[in-house]
Amino acid sequence: MKILVVCMGNICRSPTAEAVLRTRAENKGLLIEVESAGTIDYHHGEKPDSRSAAAAKSRGYSFGRKKARGVTQEDFYYFDQILAADKQNLADLQGICPSEYQYKLALFLQGAGLETEEIPDPYYGGEQGFEHVLDLIESGSDKILAQL
């Protein structure tokens, strides 16, 4: 199983989801490949946001050597699932994804049984926003892994 998680810039939500999903899969002994990307390539080559990294580290997750990148056409072919952080990211993906791969697209939190299906962007908020994003991503990751 190969999963790509996508947000807008690939510096906050999607690298966090990549780290959480990968770590939780490893802890369950599941062999899945997880990567992340952004719908825009504005932050290409940058490290994840330091606030995201600090929040993740406090819960035992690591971003490793992650560098931001944009979604490529090859991603639609390569990955089995492409999970968007929010509805705008999903719409952006639907707009560039070839029709034969549209079935791979969904929201990361879709079907997780939470009060929302969207992971809010914490970039312009305070540290509590990054903690809330982690809470949502942990719940969503558990649901995704339970379905594998």
CATH label of the domain that carries residue 49: 3.40.50.2300
Contact 81, 104 (CB under 8 A): yes
**What pLDDT score does 93 carry?**
98
**What pLDDT score does 138 carry?**
97
Total domains in the chain come to 1
**What pLDDT score does 126 carry?**
84
Q: Which residues of 132-141 are buried (b: 16+ CB within 10 A; e: fewer)?
A: ebbebbbebb
**What pLDDT score does 27 carry?**
96
| pTM score | 0.96
pLDDT averaged per 10 residues in sequence order, the chain, 148 residues: 97 98 96 97 93 96 95 98 98 98 97 89 91 97 93
Burial of residue 19, with CB atoms counted within 10 A of its CB: 0-12 exposed, 13-18 middle, 19 or more buried: buried
Residue located via tokens 């969503």: 140
Give the range of the structural domain holding residue 117, as residue numbers without chain letter. Answer: 2-146
Q: Which residues are catalytic?
A: 7, 13, 121
**What pLDDT score does 30 carry?**
95
Q: Are strands 105-107 and 33-38 parallel, antiparallel or unpaired?
A: unpaired
